[in-house]
Homo-oligomer: A and B are copies of this chain.
Amino acid sequence: MTAISKSDWLSSLAWNEQGLVPAIAQDAQTKEILMFAWMNREALEETVATNRGVYWSRSRSKLWRKGEESGHVQRVKEVRIDCDSDVVLLLIDQIGVACHTGRRSCFFTQLIGGQWVAVDAPTVDPESVYK
């Protein structure tokens, strides 16, 4: 009998040349897409271990535990990957808001008549969301 390593599920992902995969966070109830970020192995492992959304901040080159300072945390209900094993989808309950602008979702800008228009308004003070 061969023992199966606990981390095999991590190894089977197709990490890119920077050791990252794109990650989409979707509201588990409304199905609204809340944000898009990147994960390295450590971020995904911690996400699964803690059931909290943890990402890799490419701009700050460090783990980004969503909401760890603001309280706007993500409770992870389900983790999925796509058919190429190179994109992660998190089904989450978002406490507060996902976007640093104070909006529930980062995807608030719509192309209308050749112009990008912000179609959703902030629901909380952006200052309260950072990190």
Contacts and interface: CB of A to CB of B under 8 A. Distances in A.
B33 A32 contact: no
Copies in the complex: 2
Contacts of A32: 31
Interface in A65-97: 78-85, 87, 89
Given A22-B36, A31-B31, A83 B111 contact: no
Contact of A79 (B33, B36, B100, B111): B111
Contacts of A111: 9, 48, 78-81
Interface of A: 6, 8-9, 12, 22, 24, 26, 30-33, 35-36, 48, 78-85, 87, 89, 99-101, 103, 106-111, 114-116
